[in-house]
Amino acid sequence: MVKSQLHNRYKAIVIGGSAGSFQGVVKILSNIPENFPLPIIMCLHRLKHVRHGFVEALSIKSNLEVREPYDKEGVKKGMVYLAPANYHMSLELGNYFSMSTEEMINNSRPAIDITLGSAGYVYKDRLVGILLSGANKDGALGMKRIKDRGGYTIVQDPDECMIPTMPNAALAVTEIDMKLKVDEIVKFLLDLAKLYKKY
Amino acid sequence: MKEIEIASLKRLTEFVKLNFGYDFTNYAMSSFKRRISRILELYNINSVENLITKLDTEKDFIETFIVEITVNVTEMFRDPSFWRVLRDDVIPGILLNHERIKIWHAGCSSGEEVFSMAIMLKEMGILNNATIIATDLDKDILKRAQMGKYTLKNMELNSKNYIRFQGNHKLEDYYSVKNNLAVLNPDLISNVSFRSHDLVKGDIFNKFDLILCRNVMIYFNQNLQNEVLRRFHGSLFKFGYLAIGSKESLIWCDIANKFIVVNNEEKIYKKFRD
């Protein structure tokens, strides 16, 4: 692990995932303690017309509260935010969410590129971007944006992914700081948390 | 993709406001920026400064600009459960006290929601009791809304929504197919009045029993949301209803205490204080 990337100036963790990412997400959430010092912002591909069930499914395993934020809701640490069905979810300067119903991107709404890209813009070098298993290239440009703005980038090790298309697409378009297995991602996040005072 | 500077976006919005009277200064930043990126890409313009020049020299380009800047992605019967609540609770509630019902679709876009409303009211047997006004900022989209032509691909989704809404018929009963497009029966909207209206600066022009403004204010910042909500409040009869998108909320707005929540899941509010 590159120690210099472990510091307590991060403001948020953003995670993208699609096909094959659910188990990984559950493993991450079930291992993160309830006093985690950062917000975890997730954009996971999901059925457009099923509004219910996803938050509930993740909540069962999570020590942190999982919610789909409202438009213009402020970002708080120690929360897990999930992009709602049929909306794109962006971060705004001022540290709050905004929703939109723009065109689908990569056949997806929510699109990972939008959440990751806008988070990269807002948090700059104070962001950790994590891209998990998935079957298309959504999220690759979002990861590039995070990297270009100075953020730290992690993809799930393609060898571990059920479907590695998404991490591989990110590896192809930008420099990725770390390829980690889900267990190592958990360890990274826990090590990170230890650096924060109130933790 | 080059990062668009906020300073150049400000120059653009000031220019558009000064020269064309459209005010985008209080639009939500990240989606507005994406719309601008999209225009630059679509029309092969390499900077915001050159977009300003194009708007300055090609007088008609502002129309294109408005079309592209506004998000016109919508569905018929979006959130079918919302439409069921409208049909089973809200509309019958209004008709208890009024013989006629006045409805405003604020930001009607390409008309899907207006047609959904007309179909629902027709199935309830009260379409002729309704006065419907549909407004949008974008004059071109209003023309499209009145044509009621949608791609067959979109109709697949619309039909699925209609089935989930549990309508009395089949959606196919309400349109014919011409040149690979579904053409909605124009009788449905014969008493709908379509008007150009900018929520950002528009006055209160009428009073309504029901205002639908779903997934429109998400493109505004909170200041503008507050202003628009004050005008909606002023445009509602006492005990009139306001419906917003499922991921919008009145919680943070100044005027929240003048509304009560009728259905939190479907984001339907009722004005109970003047």
State pLDDT tens for residues A131-159: 999 999 999 999 999 999 999 999 999 99
Residues of A in contact with B81 (CB under 8 A): 51
A45: annotated active-site residue: yes
CB spacing of B222 vs A118 below 8 angstroms: no
Averaged pLDDT of chain B:
96
Chain A residue closest in CA terms to B82: A51
Q: How far is CA A68 from CA A83, A87, B103, in A?
A: 6, 11, 30
Cβ neighbours for A119, distance < 8 A, ≥ 6 positions apart = A12, A14, A41, A91, A127, A129, A142, A146
In terms of Cα–Cα distance, which of A120, A173, A192, A128 is closest to A154?
A: A128
CA–CA gap between residue A62 and residue A50 (Å, rounded): 21
Specify the pLDDT at position B146. Answer: 97
A138: annotated active-site residue: yes
Provide the 10 A C-beta neighbour count for residue B199: 20
Contact A101, B73 (CB under 8 A): yes
Tokens of B175: 């349109």
Alpha helices in B98-171 (DSSP H): 112-123, 139-147, 152-165
Residue A107 touches chain B, beta carbons under 8 Å: no
CA–CA gap between residue B264 and residue A132 (Å, rounded): 33
The DSSP letter of residue B60 is T
Specify the pLDDT at position B3. Answer: 82
List chain B domain ranges: 6-69, 80-149+186-271
Provide the 10 A C-beta neighbour count for residue A196: 16
Best of B9, B76, B158, B247 to mutate (most A CBs within 10 Å, chain A): B247
The DSSP letter of residue B69 is H
Using 50, 70 and 90 to split pLDDT, how confident is the model at B213? very high
Q: Which helix (H) or strand (E) holds B12?
A: helix B6-20
The pLDDT tens digits for B247-259 are: 999 988 889 999 9
In terms of Cα–Cα distance, which of A148, A164, A145 is closest to A156?
A: A164
Specify the pLDDT at position A48. Answer: 83
Computed from CA positions of residues A16, A42, A121, B199, in that sequence, does the dihedral angle turn out positive or negative?
A: positive
Specify the pLDDT at position A80. Answer: 98
Specify the pLDDT at position B1. Answer: 55
CA–CA gap between residue A87 and residue A111 (Å, rounded): 8
Using 50, 70 and 90 to split pLDDT, how confident is the model at B39? very high
Residue A65 touches chain B, beta carbons under 8 Å: no
Q: Is the pLDDT of residue A197 over 80?
A: no
B249 CA: distance to closest CA in chain A (Å): 6
CA–CA gap between residue B141 and residue B124 (Å, rounded): 28
B129 CA: distance to closest CA in chain A (Å): 32
Specify the pLDDT at position B253. Answer: 87
The listed CATH number (3.40.50.150, 3.40.640.10, 3.40.50.720, 3.90.730.10) that belongs to domain B80-149+186-271 = 3.40.50.150
A62: annotated active-site residue: no
The greatest distance separating any two alpha carbons of chain B, rounded to the nearest whole angstrom, comes to: 58
Chain B residue closest in CA terms to A93: B29
The pLDDT tens digits for A20-58 are: 999 999 999 999 999 999 999 999 999 888 888 999 999
CA–CA gap between residue B222 and residue A184 (Å, rounded): 40
Using 50, 70 and 90 to split pLDDT, how confident is the model at A194? very high
Specify the pLDDT at position A198. Answer: 60
Q: Is the pLDDT of residue A174 over 70?
A: yes
The pLDDT tens digits for A52-105 are: 899 999 999 999 999 999 999 999 999 999 999 999 999 999 999 999 999 999
CB spacing of B71 vs A90 below 8 angstroms: no
Specify the pLDDT at position A78. Answer: 93
Residue A90 touches chain B, beta carbons under 8 Å: yes
Mean pLDDT over B4-12 rounds to: 95
Best of A46, A99, A122, A124 to mutate (most B CBs within 10 Å, chain B): A99
Specify the pLDDT at position B203. Answer: 87
The pLDDT tens digits for B140-161 are: 999 999 999 999 999 999 999 9
CB spacing of B248 vs A121 below 8 angstroms: no
Averaged pLDDT of chain A:
95
Q: Is the pLDDT of residue B33 over 60?
A: yes
Q: How far is CA A152 from CA A15, A145, A191, B5, in A?
A: 12, 11, 15, 23
Mean pLDDT over B57-77 rounds to: 94
B9 CA: distance to closest CA in chain A (Å): 14
Mean pLDDT over A173-189 rounds to: 97
Domains of chain A by start residue, with CATH: 3-194 (3.40.50.180)
Provide the 10 A C-beta neighbour count for residue A52: 11
Residues of A in contact with B161 (CB under 8 A): 49
Using 50, 70 and 90 to split pLDDT, how confident is the model at B217? very high
Contact A41, A13 (CB under 8 A): yes
Q: Is the pLDDT of residue B28 over 60?
A: yes
Provide the 10 A C-beta neighbour count for residue B4: 18
% of chain B surpassing 70 pLDDT: 99
Q: Which helix (H) or strand (E) holds B229?
A: helix B222-234
Tell me, letter by letter, the H, E, C secondary structure of chain A: CCHHHCCCCCCEEEEEECCCCHHHHHHHHHHCCCCCCCCEEEEECCCCCCCCCHHHHHHHHCCCEEECCCCCCECCCCEEEECCCCCEEEEECCCEEEEECCCCECCECCCHHHHHHHHHHHHHHHEEEEECCCCCCCCHHHHHHHHHCCCEEEEECCCCCCCCHHHHHHHHHCCCCEEECHHHHHHHHHHHHHCCCCC
Helix-helix angle B61-69:B6-20, to 10 degrees: 120
In terms of Cα–Cα distance, which of B55, B10, B53 is closest to B29?
A: B10
CB spacing of A70 vs B160 below 8 angstroms: no
Residue A100 touches chain B, beta carbons under 8 Å: yes
